[in-house]
Chains A and B, each alone.
Chain A
Amino acid sequence: MAGSAKTEKFDNKTIQWINDRLPVFSMMQDEYGKFPTPRNFNYFWNFGAIAMAMLGIMIVTGIFLAMHYVPTGSMAFESIERMSRDVNYGWLLRYAHMNGASFFFIAVYIHIFRGLFYGSYKKPRELIWIFGVVIMLLMMATAFMGYALPWSQMSGWGVTVITSLFSAVPLVGDGLVTWLWGGFSIDSPTLNRFYALHFLLPFVICAVVFVHVWALHVTGSNNPTGVEPKSEKDTIPFSPYYTTKDSFGTVVFLVLFMAMVFFAPLLLTEPDHFRQFDPMQTPSHIVPEWYFLPFYAILRAFTLDISIPFTHIVLLTAKLQGVLAMFGSILLLLFLPWIDTSPVRSARCRPIYKWCLMLLVVAMVALGYAGAKPPEGAAVWFGRAGTFYYFLHFLVIVPWLGKNEKTLPLPKSIHEEVED
């Protein structure tokens, strides 16, 4: 890596001087210039770069919003209303940040789907995948706390519901919730600490993204065939091919994002998000943001306490089952490289796995629908079916397919697959 004699010289003397002392420019050239990248990427591979762009946008808009926001119970809602009306372009900052969160999740969910479909989590890329799941968890925590900051009805009651979950922890549950709240109900102390953490976590995300990309640069990228590059004929330099392709994809994505920000900024927002938090009145319909809906549905899918038969001793309350299932559904992703035992990476060569993955997507949509509706009628069954399939997929189908699926023959190499 660094330290070895670099025979490469830069034309610009200043750049050379800096590079001799801290090889940032030759590093950029190695990692983003010459870096040999599989030549057969499809547009699914754009979403990592798009996610990075969204992270940047969220941090920048967030910092400028932080210049006007007041994190106390009495002033938070008002400071955001003022920001949206009086601050120059405050409306733009707010809508970009609100909708930016949604688009960040869209990009990350598609990025994750790419990983699931093409087996990007398999050896030797397990650590990249693990860092990725950590990033997703951090994003979810950040988004949850961010949504609390306007201190609206939906903010306050959403926080109440989700933090109350921790009371399901046996023995220490209630103390834990009081500790989280900083009081006996959610109030200014809760809001203030959420603000501090919401400001901090994006920078933690940046650090994890850094190691995520670093680990990727050690192994090199996966590609749609799932077959590793064998020769120079299989790869092209990252710049200019993928710098331009990523830029193009990012621009298209940003066009859609801006269309939402300027023409439909409140499309995904609940009306109760525009009422100030009232601890004395619960809204009729507490709903999290769309990107949390599937996990919310999993949480609510469990309704039967598990107790020792013929006694009143409850082993696992329905609430605790729901909490364990919800967190479990995300944490099991960390183990996916070991759950999926198939020697074949890409779903292009795994016909049964491909259909099971499509079914998983359908299950996620069904769970999303169930999460959005009040827990009665058909929504309950969608939620239970979706939860059942989710865990069936990861805990039963995927390990079984790994050993028993008849896979299609692998392509000999990338360039032979591409040159038709």
Chain B
Amino acid sequence: MSNKTVKCECGHVNHEGTVLCEACGKPISGNQHIDGNDQNDVLEMRYEGSARRSKTYKRTIVDKTWGFFSSVKVGVWLIVITLIASSLGTIYPQEQFKNSPLPSSQFYEEEYGLTGKIFYQLGFHNMYDSWWYIVLVALIGISIIIASIDRFVPLRRALKNQSVKRNEIFVKRQRLVSENNTLNDEDLTSLKENLKKKRYKVSEEDGHIMAEKNRFSRWGPYVNHIGLIIILLAAIFRMFDLMHTEEYVWVREGETRVLPNTNQEYYIENTEFIYEEYDSNEEEQFRVALENVENPVPKNFQTNAIIYRSTEDTITGQLPDMEEVTRGQIRLNQPLTFDGFALYQAGTQLESEYRTIGFDLENDEETLGSFEFDTDEAPYSFELEDGLEVEVDNYFPELEFTDNGPSSFSKFPRNPGIIFSIENPETTNVERFFYLQEDVISLSDDNELNLSVSDIDRRSASGISITRDYTLPIFGLGAAIFMIGVVQGLYWYHRRIWIHPTESSYHIGVHTNKNWFGMKKELEEITKDTNVQSFHDQQELK
């Protein structure tokens, strides 16, 4: 970078690449092509004709990269590409939503045919955390930063250095002008008064008048871009466990389990799981809707939980001594929070497990006794009245039949199978029974005893997700700054009016950074009852 400067005839020393003198606004010869002023009658005022790095230096790689990212054209293209890519990702479900046991390599092709296969092969099934999507977003971030710096710094300097006394060419080449006005002192006084009424800041120098208001709105875009950058940074932070963790745990009713992402420090006990459905007798207004759907409509999923904190070092597989931290109800939309963690009701397995199964034993004449099989304890034998003994030969929590006979698919009592053997006190024969699918079958033909199921108690399991997310306040801050910036830039307009005396008359030039329609209305009020001639719009839509 060189430090060449350009001195204007008004005496102000401008940076190299300046288009309009920062002080008086006179077009600097040789630089007018930069903002396209050589072809237009109206001066390009977007950045006050200030010297932007991207437009001034174009030689080295750094210059070129800077120029590339600071271009709004490039920025807009990046956004458009992201927008199109994002929408393409919704054609078929993302991998996480595919809801099928098939591996993705088969799922997309089988379900959606050729287009599905292409979708998969392009990697669109995992679009939003693919490297190229992240790179796109990162490029947008870089573009926002560079474009903002490229414009903000010189713009601020130009607005600071502007002087009240402007060059005549500058005033006459504004979009709204009124030339050759004959104004008397009265006119000028009432103009100034009207301007002040409209909250303009009015300054004077040698008979030149400048009125300005709402300069701060020019910073709106820069503020909102800072908000966006904060949000992108928060997204990066969120990738680190220190800032954000998320885990999932299933807890049965009555069970206490460690919360996985708490370093074995916190435990949850599920004291009760509540599931409720809408009932068309109670809520009459929903009758039609409820009758139109096949399945009942759920009303509430709720886990009543107690959170403990361990007070000693833990030994795996054993519950340590604990103290209660908090207790409460976890519902959809009502997480339970404690010490920076939040617990969400995320899944349910309704009555999916057997807690206890009750049995009655009788022979032809009388009842011999009853007992209850508790799947947690899974005892090896039961002692009934009269010394009668029931042996548990085999217990399969989740029964399935394989080539080698019955076995258990898991250790969870989702479909228990139990083989009992009982010695008949009368015959002293050992009789065997098989409990499966809520029924009992005899395993030998000559059984004289009769074993039957008396009652069944099931339990639900509750899926709880546990998150700790320290990035939330950062996202909130970014969003708030974004909103402030957007409002600041969209609802206030930076407006300036220059009254330029010549030997015989006055030229008036007007600039607003947007909303020319409103500007024209305001000018009508400002020039009311004065000799100012109507303004000429040099760029009206035809």
- Binding between chains A and B: no
